[in-house]
Copies of this chain bind each other. A is one copy, B any other.
Amino acid sequence: MAVALRKATYSYNCIVERKAFTVGIACENKMAEADYCGIASGRDLDKFALTGLTHVKSELVDAPYAEEFPVVLECRLLHTIEIGLHTQFIGEIIDVKGDPDVIGENGHLDIMKIKPLIFDTSKKGYHSVGPCLGKAFSIGKGLPHEQG
């Protein structure tokens, strides 16, 4: 799991000091809360209190997460790479916690139940994920060129 941050952010220092981070998947019904977390800095404000999100201390890594996000990845810092304005942190995923409501029939995470947000950097909008259009490693087999 890789995340890239500017050195000026509060999160940057937290990751450097604790050698850990968590990633919560922002979803449609927590869009305003997730957006607020991108506006405010944890240096000045308690984002958990201000958004109403529940602060949980990870038992596996030295970082907190919000209980309300449907999927949470707990990561141990492996690599720190300077890439210009940002620093990229690569973490080993120690655990993936999924809310029972977003687990599908096969016991795996179900993207249509998670309803994750897609961030459009161009117009700065949050988009939904639409329906499945095709099966991977499958629909490509029907190409006319391949058959010929």
Residues of A within 8 A of B (CB): 2, 28, 31-40, 49-52, 78-79, 81, 83-84, 88, 90, 92, 104, 106, 108-111, 117-120, 122-146
A-B complex: 6 closest residue pairs judged by Cβ atoms: A36-B140, A35-B140, A128-B130, A125-B132, A130-B130, A124-B136
Q: Which chain B residue shows the least CB distance to A1?
A: B83
Q: Please, how many angstroms separate the alpha-carbon atoms of A139 and B31 in the complex?
A: 8
Taking chain A's interface residues, is the majority helix, strand, or loop, or is none over half, making it mixed? mixed
**Contact (A28, B88) CB under 8 Å given A35-B140, A111-B120, A122-B109:** no
**Contact (A81, B79) CB under 8 Å given A128-B130, A130-B129, A137-B35:** yes
Inter-chain contacts of A49 with B (CB < 8 A): 145
Partner of A36, one of B40, B109, B120, B146: B146
Extra contacts, 6 of them, besides A35-B137, A79-B81, A79-B83 (Cβ < 8 A), are A31-B134, A36-B143, A39-B137, A52-B145, A110-B123, A126-B139
Inter-chain contacts of A40 with B (CB < 8 A): 140
Inter-chain contacts of A122 with B (CB < 8 A): 104, 108-111
Q: Check A126–B133 contact: CB distance below 8 A.
A: yes
